[in-house]
Amino acid sequence: MTDQTFPIIQTDSLDLPDVYEDPLDLMDEIDRLKVDKDATILAHYYVDGEIQDVADHCGDSLQLARVATTVTTSTILFAGVHFMGESAKILNPEKTVIMPDLHAGCSLAESCPADKLLAYQHELRAKGHDFETVAYINTSASVKSLCDWIVTSGNAREIIDRVPAGKEILFVPDQHLGRYLMEVTGRDMILWPGSCMVHEVFSIQDLLRAKKNNPQSLVLAHPECPKNILEHADFIGGTEKMRKFVTAETKPLTLLIATEANMIHPLQKAAPQHTYIPVPGIMTSSGETCACNRCPHMALNTLQKVRNCLKNSQPEIVWQPYFEKAQAVMRKSLL
Ligand code: SF4
């Protein structure tokens, strides 16, 4: 015996496997419940394809935040991660916003807790820095309430141009996106050392091996990827920009996709003429695929949980006092 101790796990918080149910039956039930419950389903490109297929709108964070403000139903079901449900509620306080699993977090958002950011802002000001804080949308609402601007990979350049030239920029939480934005905007930034666990796993050796195995291929990479991956990309862009890129290319191409693997679903739907290969999905020495490019938080969304959430109108994102400050920042940045 060792003296190692183990955490006590509350069984009611375990993500226990559900009883198998036919996905097609679930999809039919979800369609009926959407009408009964006066609900609209918004799904991020990184959730399972079958959830994207029952959604009323699929998109990246910016698109979905904007679409959320045009929804006419009384309820929004957001299939994505927690900060996205918060954003939908912040921009639509009068709507009921529900999520399939409130435990679906985001490693990037969690890398920048509000108390640490506040302390760092105080420290920088005490040292004489005169700055505005620009936050990637992948942050909690409490962090957004401490910032001056919110950006997504889709609108970051445009927003950074709005920061007065005489101000420094503190960029949180994604160091890789921040570094990429420094290059494309020419603005110096103080970078928060956060990153996304999914985009961080891409290894340069795996990418080069994939390129060698597919000599005619092009690499499409998300700007959350580390610099050494972006250096080998033929196209760099967020999820919606990737979708536009593949639809504009009519000639069949082989495309290596360096972002969350579920992104291949909307790409394939939008432009089936291409062959899509997930990076690093083909990279094991045996030639098998691996699942390290799947976001474990997004994967908490399942069809069963979507159905249950609609049926029970729970769990719900409840309005918090700090949402008001976050709302002002989000409205001026995103709408
Ligand atoms: S893919 Fe990365 S940034 Fe996106 S939700 Fe998952 S952990 Fe967060």
Is there a single domain that holds both residue 25 and residue 99?
yes
pTM of the shown model: 0.85
Close Cβ partners of 264 (under 8 Å, ≥ 6 residues apart): 257, 276, 278
What SS3 state is found at 40?
strand
Least confident of 18-22, 123-127, 248-252: 18-22
Residue of 87, 196, 222 to mutate, ligand 1, most atoms within 8 A of C-beta: 196
Whether 2 is in a domain gets the answer no
Question: 222 vs 96, 98, 115, 177, 226, CA distance in Å?
Answer: 32, 28, 29, 9, 9
Question: Which pLDDT does position 32 carry in this prediction?
Answer: 98
* End residue of a domain, out of 196, 220, 241: 196
Whether 288 is in a domain gets the answer no
Residue 124, burial from CB neighbour count under 10 angstroms (0-12, 13-18, 19+): middle
Q: Is the CB of 174 under 6 A from ligand 1?
A: no
Whether 251 is in a domain gets the answer yes
Residue nearest to atom 6 of ligand 1 (CA): 295
Helix (H), strand (E), coil (C) string for 164-218:
CCCCEEEEECEHHHHHHHHHHHCCCCEECCECCHHHHCCCHHHHHHHHHHCCCCE
pLDDT tens column, 270-280: 999 999 998 86
Q: Give 81 Cα–ligand 1 centroid separation in angstroms.
A: 8
Is there a single domain that holds both residue 28 and residue 85?
yes
Q: Is the CB of 108 under 6 A from ligand 1?
A: yes
Whether 328 is in a domain gets the answer no
Q: What is the CATH number of the domain that holds 125?
A: 3.40.50.10800
Residue 104, burial from CB neighbour count under 10 angstroms (0-12, 13-18, 19+): buried
Residue nearest to atom 8 of ligand 1 (CA): 106
Q: Give 108 Cα–ligand 1 centroid separation in angstroms.
A: 6
Q: Give 34 Cα–ligand 1 centroid separation in angstroms.
A: 27
Question: Which pLDDT does position 9 carry in this prediction?
Answer: 36
Distance CA 239, CA 263 (A): 7
Q: Give 297 Cα–ligand 1 centroid separation in angstroms.
A: 7
Are 220 and 242 a contacting pair, CB within 8 Å?
yes
Q: Give 330 Cα–ligand 1 centroid separation in angstroms.
A: 20
Q: Which domain holds residue 252?
A: 202-278
Burial 57-71 (b: 16+ CB within 10 A, else e): bbbbbbbbbebbeeb
Distance CA 157, CA 159 (A): 6
Q: Is the CB of 177 under 6 A from ligand 1?
A: no
Question: Which pLDDT does position 287 carry in this prediction?
Answer: 46
Instruction: Determine the atom of ligand 1 nearest the C-alpha atom of 107.
Output: 7
* 231 pLDDT tier (thresholds 50, 70, 90): very high
Residue of 84, 260, 262, 292 to mutate, ligand 1, most atoms within 8 A of C-beta: 260
Q: Is the pLDDT of residue 3 over 60?
A: no
Are 149 and 189 a contacting pair, CB within 8 Å?
no
Whether 325 is in a domain gets the answer no
Whether 57 is in a domain gets the answer yes
Is there a single domain that holds both residue 146 and residue 185?
yes
pLDDT tens column, 294-329: 899 999 999 999 999 999 999 999 999 999 999 999
pLDDT tens column, 62-116: 889 899 999 999 999 999 999 999 999 999 999 999 999 999 999 999 999 999 9
* 18 pLDDT tier (thresholds 50, 70, 90): low
How many domains does the chain fold into? 3
Are 149 and 132 a contacting pair, CB within 8 Å?
yes
Question: Which pLDDT does position 294 carry in this prediction?
Answer: 83
